[in-house]
Structure 1
Amino acid sequence: MPAVAQQRTEAKVYRLAAVDASGRIRDQGIVRALAWEPGARLEIRERVGVIVVRRDPGGVFALTGQGHLLLPASVRHWCGLEAGDRALLTADPVADLLVVYPPTALDDMVAQAQGAVLGGDDA
Structure 2
Amino acid sequence: MNTEEFVKAYKMVVADAAIEDSISVFQKPPGRKPSEELLQISNYYNGLNRDERKIIDMIIARVSYEASFGALCVLDGVRSIEEEGDKGDINLVYSKDNRSFDLNKNKDLHDIFNFL
Alignment TM class, shorter chain as reference? 0.3 to 0.5
Higher relative strand content: 1
Higher relative helix content: 2
Asked which structure has the greater CA Rg, the reply is 2
TM-score norm. by structure 1 comes to 0.32
